[in-house]
Structure 1
């Protein structure tokens, strides 16, 4: 959240000839960003001014509301449509000391299980699924699941992708995932088909102490030299949230975008389960927090 624009110019970066103006209106549509820029006839920025408008303090425009009502009614109908699944226990999406961006969650487990199941339908060799915590945006309440809840949880319209990664690359991914723990990291990876342990007191890059993949019900150590097929979303598959090993694989042609919407996958997976009863299972464990 930037109350005012931040300028990066020659006083910040010596030798920079053109200023860069950075503006950010926080999240969830809480604010509307307002930015005014003035350029000279050569296109050089001469003045800038920006601010945030608190949407909660704004009055509704009656005429605009009338125009939008037919569309709003259709959206409300879709949002309230029931998926056909019952959430037995609420699926939190915590932020803070314990967060979706630093800890395993039941919701992360549900999402990745759905990703893995769907990816296997297209590539039977897929054994692991990974979802960045930054892409999980909202909790899901107990009770009948609605399309609106699914869309709010996964709002970005990402597609499902598969990537061929070596065990060593998986290790590097997980090191990035937990590299700043217990601080939050949008690139923190929730997993299915595997489990791993790390020690958050160790230096970044040297934290992951154990990685195992599920081989037909038996967990076995991930081989650094072996290649595994991983399901993830297209954003992370291209290296989003700082997950550079995925970017390397993408540029090398080892990523396949399946073109399947993430929210639709979650909707269909929960419907197939009927009764959705998920919990934290110990897929991701910080050994430094275990009792001695």
Structure 2
């Protein structure tokens, strides 16, 4: 961070510290029915910091910060927590390797964060560096160094809210071992979160905490090894779980065991707000709700000025980063919409090859609709690749049967000759289909690494997270086992292009028998 940006960040922080000092007095939280404590929370922002992201659904960091400070002004006993997958995702943040997100979160006034699997996308060492730059603790009670057994991050923090001790401990999903590039976490291990949650809850209760909050990146997906619902069921004494990972919207929370599980969805579409009432040392009431963009604008009509100024500086800095040359291309590769959505293209082959290499997968699929413009001849900048892949999609590795792969190929070519955003560009696989036949029975032959595909065999398949979630109608692999997760497509293609150029991307992987 340059001196000018740092100075502006400091000025903004000083300004809002003054606002807090002259806000409503602390005793405003103490009411006739007890002490009222507010927990504001976010999860799985994935670096969506610009207002209006995701077709206008994203609240954006200036607006989020405005909500946080406005809420604190009204309710002094407010904690702001984040449940992870925050430091990585969009180019504007990725170019700083997470630094810019730290600065924005510091200005916004976060009180604690639990790291998610994608927060490791720059590597564990980098995540530790980022954690030392935050004005708030990064908490994870189940993450240790393999060699020493020591905690990588702080386990918990206790807050004083008008005399009520609130203990917050962090947990990270053990799936991080495979849901980031495994090389990113080769030196760290993730202990059983249920065991750690029991130990932390007991420790905090013994220390006199009247409220215990689990801040965790665990999720509610039934396919996950451990879920937040399981933790709530097996750990008595937990009051609230602020959760992430599964991108689940819980408008009023989910009651499980003694706990209320709260999650906002993803990409900053909502801010979570939990209201606790503590009377005579016990939680007597807990309610949860979500505030969307319209709600946020009512709560804070004016975005936070310090965050707005930081965003201006960030955009100026990122523009310089986007101009950096990251690779060379011997020729222009077309990203024309009319081609990539209906037929095999060289840019599609390059993209899929890069994905398969990064994931070490048998097969890779790239949806044609995810390719948005041409790759230029000559110097290729970071900005060029971000324009080609503008969505911040990350790479995942699935396990699919040959039958599921075949069903996906049928879906891919069902609309030909009409353009379809889900038309698959492929790597590691070749197939022939007949567009003159009825949709659903067009695929004729499929080979994987030159051998006939076995419908009963399990293959590893690299796809972007949009497709992995069933995007473009790929329901046949929605919920399939995820055995690896990696960086963003622009990062992966930049690295591949720099190392391999455009060799081996010649057409011939997809053949329409009707055109022979």
Is 2:350 the counterpart of 1:115? no
Is 2:383 the counterpart of 1:157? no
Please give the per-residue CA displacement for 1:258-277, whole angstroms capped at 9, x wherever unaligned: 1422211111111112x435
SS of match in other structure, 1:148: helix
Aligned to 2:513: 287
State how 1:264-279 maps to structure 2 within 5 Å. 264-273=491-500, 275-277=501-503, 279=505
Q: Kindly indicate whether structure 1 or structure 2 has the higher relative contact order, using CA contacts under 8 Å at least 6 residues apart.
A: 1
Q: What's the offset of the Cα at 1:281?
A: 2.0
Is 2:332 the counterpart of 1:90? yes
Q: Separation in 2 of the partners of 1:92 and 1:260?
A: 24
Is 2:323 the counterpart of 1:80? yes
Aligned to 1:231: 462
Q: Separation in 2 of the partners of 1:245 and 1:76?
A: 40
Alpha-carbon RMSD: 2.1
Q: Separation in 2 of the partners of 1:259 and 1:206?
A: 34
Contact 1:87 1:277 in 2 (8 A): no
**Which protein is richer in helix relative to its size?**
2
Q: Separation in 2 of the partners of 1:281 and 1:67?
A: 46
Is 2:474 the counterpart of 1:243? yes
Please give the per-residue CA displacement for 1:98-123, whole angstroms capped at 9, x wherever unaligned: x2011101001111111111101xxx
Is 2:127 the counterpart of 1:127? no
Please give the per-residue CA displacement for 1:164-194, whole angstroms capped at 9, x wherever unaligned: 1111111100000000111111111111001
Q: What's the offset of the Cα at 1:71?
A: 4.1
Aligned to 1:256: 483
Contact 1:134 1:185 in 2 (8 A): yes
Paired residues in the alignment total 211
Is 2:435 the counterpart of 1:204? no
Contact 2:359 2:486 in 1 (8 A): no
Q: What's the offset of the Cα at 1:131?
A: 0.7
Q: Separation in 1 of the partners of 2:367 and 2:320?
A: 30
Contact 2:402 2:456 in 1 (8 A): yes
The alpha-carbon distance between structure 1 residues 168 and 88, as it changes in their structure 2 partners (threshold 3 A), is: same
Give the TM-score normalised by the residue count of structure 2. Answer: 0.39
Contact 1:162 1:256 in 2 (8 A): yes
Contact 2:337 2:369 in 1 (8 A): no
Q: Separation in 1 of the partners of 2:436 and 2:430?
A: 19
Is 2:452 the counterpart of 1:189? no
Q: Separation in 2 of the partners of 1:256 and 1:201?
A: 37
The alpha-carbon distance between structure 1 residues 145 and 278, as it changes in their structure 2 partners (threshold 3 A), is: farther
**Which protein is richer in strand relative to its size?**
1
The alpha-carbon distance between structure 1 residues 278 and 223, as it changes in their structure 2 partners (threshold 3 A), is: closer
Contact 1:175 1:208 in 2 (8 A): yes
Q: Separation in 2 of the partners of 1:171 and 1:244?
A: 13
Aligned to 1:103: 343
The alpha-carbon distance between structure 1 residues 105 and 67, as it changes in their structure 2 partners (threshold 3 A), is: same
Q: Separation in 1 of the partners of 2:465 and 2:351?
A: 15
